[in-house]
Amino acid sequence: MLENANFSGVIAPVLTPFGEDGAPDPDRFIEHAEWLMGDGGCTGLAPFGTTSEANSLGIDERMDLLEELVESGMEPLSLMPGTGTTSLSDTITLTQHAIDLGCGGVLMLPPFYYKDPSEEGLFTYFAEVIDEIADDNLRVYLYHIPQVAGVGFSVDLVARLRGEFPETVVGLKDSSGDWSNMKAILDRLPGFELFTGSELYLLDTLRHGGAGTISAAANINGPMLRRLFEECEEPGAEALQERVSAFRRALQPYPTIPVLKAIVAHYRNDPAWAVLRPPNLALEPDRAAEAIRELADRDDFRLDFPETA
């Protein structure tokens, strides 16, 4: 396992709740974040990931919500907000804002509108962001999710950025679902904080020197993930990984964000939690009930949300 890591363990891409007016709801957001960092089992939080519907939020909404979270007393060093947009200037704005708030790191998508950008173009983009921020406290985690963003990071580009900015480009979230890509990065860049986006590879990641997982499921299944992280060198680790994987497979037939929100809404007894912002839509009630029933019937899993209502 990694020493002196800025982040390690189980990081949740925090779900974003919406209020009755359709705006992000800071109270529900903070409540969920606090639960995640306590009984929820997480070691850190990545607000504004894909699971957070970050790209469905406005630039101002993202900054407002992050400020509210920090003002609520959440330790900013535990936060790795997503700040990567299609736009160099908006990305700089969000990154500067996160650094000003004292966040421990930022999770950065590549600029993802133009497809097939050159490696030189992507390198130049990140170099300009880093040079513009010009702050020793900046810790950039690259966010590789090519099947959604449509633009990813080649291993060569990751190595080049790491080589050019060794104190700043410190890690990567790999949501490709491709273990061979994660392994190639781990083999090539010892000490680099690789987080698997799929907990199916959590044990493999940790055994190859990776830092942990940033996974959608950490919004509801953090305690089990945390236990695997803590006990990864113990004899029962494989069996624990199998339980973690079984849980993920149980969720996989459902669209990720809608099913997670349906589950939180159910266990918190708070229907507002089930709402997504278009183009994403809430799960139909029948499907939501089915997912909740299936998970409740499992022996190996119990959700333990505090009820709000």
- Report CA 117 to chain centroid distance, whole Å: 24
Q: Are 7 and 212 in contact (CB under 8 A)?
A: yes
Annotated catalytic, 50? Answer: yes
Judged by beta carbon, residue 281 or residue 296, the one nearer a second copy is 281
Among 90, 204, 230, 270, interactor with a second copy by CB under 8 A: 90
Instruction: Give the C-alpha separation, 288 to 266, whole Å.
Output: 9
Judged by beta carbon, residue 73 or residue 278, the one nearer a second copy is 278
Instruction: Give the C-alpha separation, 109 to 81, whole Å.
Output: 11
In Å, what is the CA distance from 80 to each residue of 44, 83, 137, 240?
8, 9, 12, 27
Among the listed ranges 38-46, 66-74, 123-131, 168-176, the one in contact with a second copy (CB under 8 A) is 123-131
Q: Give the shortest CB-281-to-a second copy separation in angstroms.
A: 5
Among 71, 135, 137, 148, interactor with a second copy by CB under 8 A: 148
Which of 43, 51, 83, 143 is the catalytic position? 143
Among 39, 75, 113, 239, interactor with a second copy by CB under 8 A: 113
Among the listed ranges 41-49, 55-63, 165-173, 176-184, the one in contact with a second copy (CB under 8 A) is 55-63
Annotated catalytic, 173? Answer: yes
Among 72, 86, 245, 308, interactor with a second copy by CB under 8 A: 86
Among the listed ranges 33-41, 105-113, 135-143, 238-246, the one in contact with a second copy (CB under 8 A) is 105-113
Interacting residues with a second copy between 238 and 277 (CB under 8 A): 277
- Angle, CA of 15, 21 and 26, to the nearest 5°: 40
Site size with a second copy, rule: CB under 8 A: 38
Instruction: Give the C-alpha separation, 305 to 110, whole Å.
Output: 34
Annotated catalytic, 308? Answer: no
Annotated catalytic, 141? Answer: no
87 binds a second copy (CB under 8 A): yes
Q: Note the residues at the interface with a second copy (CB under 8 A).
A: 22, 50, 55-61, 86-90, 93, 110-115, 117-118, 120-122, 124-125, 128, 147-150, 277-281
**Residues classed as catalytic:** 50, 113, 143, 173
